[in-house]
């Protein structure tokens, strides 16, 4: 089944928005569904390089529930090349504004996050 890029872009944006909601609510089951089990979460926080596996990231999200401030996220850009995609999404997490770059692959007719890299913008 071949999809038009605009159709894929909508699905990718919806996946990213579900990711943000699951992250700020510490929804373990939703995060496991959205991410491939081998995904890495990488970025700098307070000057230190963090390189987490999915389990560590999920534990972090559970420990920070309610500490984000006003929940807000927005899609900055999407690129789709066949069955791979990247999306840049900004959102409030742990009281700060983060820019997340999510790499995804289409598998079994759904988009799965295979890696996340992040930057603290404020």
Q: Which CATH class is domain 5-120?
A: alpha beta
Domains of the chain, by residue range, sit at 5-120
- The model's pTM is 0.91
pLDDT digits (tens, 9 = 90+) for 78-115: 999 999 999 999 999 999 999 999 999 999 999 999 99
Residue 42 buriedness (CB in 10 A; 0-12 / 13-18 / 19+):
middle
């Amino acid at each position: 089944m071949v999809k038009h890029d605009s159709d894929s872009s909508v699905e990718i944006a919806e996946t990213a928005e579900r990711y943000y909601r699951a992250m700020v609510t510490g929804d373990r089951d939703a995060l496991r569904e959205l991410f491939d089990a081998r995904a890495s979460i990488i970025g700098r926080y307070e000057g230190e390089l963090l390189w987490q596996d999915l389990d560590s990231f999920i534990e972090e999200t559970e420990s920070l529930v309610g500490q984000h401030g006003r929940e807000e996220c927005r899609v900055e850009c999407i690129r789709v090349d066949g069955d791979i995609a990247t999306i840049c999404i900004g959102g409030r997490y742990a009281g700060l504004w983060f820019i997340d770059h999510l790499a995804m692959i289409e598998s079994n007719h759904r988009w799965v996050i295979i890696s996340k890299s992040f930057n603290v913008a404020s």
